[in-house]
Amino acid sequence: MCSLNEDSFVFSPSEIESLDWSVQSDWKDKLESLSLKIRPLQIDDYDRGFTKLLGQLTHVGDVTKEEFEERFKLMRETKLVRVVVIEDSNNNQIAGTATLLCEPKFIHQCSWIGHVQDVCVDEAYRGKGLGKIIVNCLKLLAQQVGAYKVDLNCSDAKIGFYSALGFKKEDGQANYMTCRYKN
Ligand SMILES: CC(C)(COP(=O)(O)OP(=O)(O)OC[C@H]1O[C@@H](n2cnc3c(N)ncnc32)[C@H](O)[C@@H]1OP(=O)(O)O)[C@@H](O)C(=O)NCCC(=O)NCCS
Buried b / exposed e along 137-154 (16+ C-beta atoms within 10 A): bbbbbbbbbebeebebee
| Residue 174 lies inside a defined structural domain of this protein | no
| Residue 175 lies inside a defined structural domain of this protein | no
Q: What is the CATH number of the domain that holds 43?
A: 3.40.630.30
- How far apart are the CA of 130 and the centre of ligand 1, in A? 8
| Residue 18 lies inside a defined structural domain of this protein | yes
Q: Which residue range forms the structural domain that includes residue 49?
A: 6-163
- How far apart are the CA of 131 and the centre of ligand 1, in A? 6
- Whole-angstrom distance, CA of residue 12 vs CA of residue 15: 6
Is 7 a residue whose pLDDT tops 90? no
Number of structural domains found in the chain: 1
| Residue 182 lies inside a defined structural domain of this protein | no
What does pTM read for this prediction?
0.96
Which among 72, 87, 102 has a CA at the least distance from the CA of 39?
87
Best of 130, 137, 159, 161 to mutate for ligand 1, by most ligand atoms within 8 A of CB? 161
- How far apart are the CA of 137 and the centre of ligand 1, in A? 15
8 Å CB contact between 98 and 142: no
Is 103 a residue whose pLDDT tops 60? yes
Residue 127 beta carbon below 6 angstroms from any ligand 1 atom: yes
Atom from ligand 1 closest to the CA of residue 57: 42
- Average pLDDT over the chain reads 96
Residue 34 beta carbon below 6 angstroms from any ligand 1 atom: no
| Residue 181 lies inside a defined structural domain of this protein | no
Is 183 a residue whose pLDDT tops 80? no
- Coil, helix or strand for 151? strand
- Residue minimizing CA distance to atom 27 of ligand 1: 161
pLDDT in tens, 122-177: 999 999 999 999 999 999 999 999 999 999 999 999 999 999 999 999 999 999 99
Residue 31 beta carbon below 6 angstroms from any ligand 1 atom: no
| Residue 157 lies inside a defined structural domain of this protein | yes
pLDDT in tens, 44-57: 999 999 999 999 99
Share of the chain above pLDDT 90, in %: 94
pLDDT band at 1, cuts 50/70/90?
Answer: very low
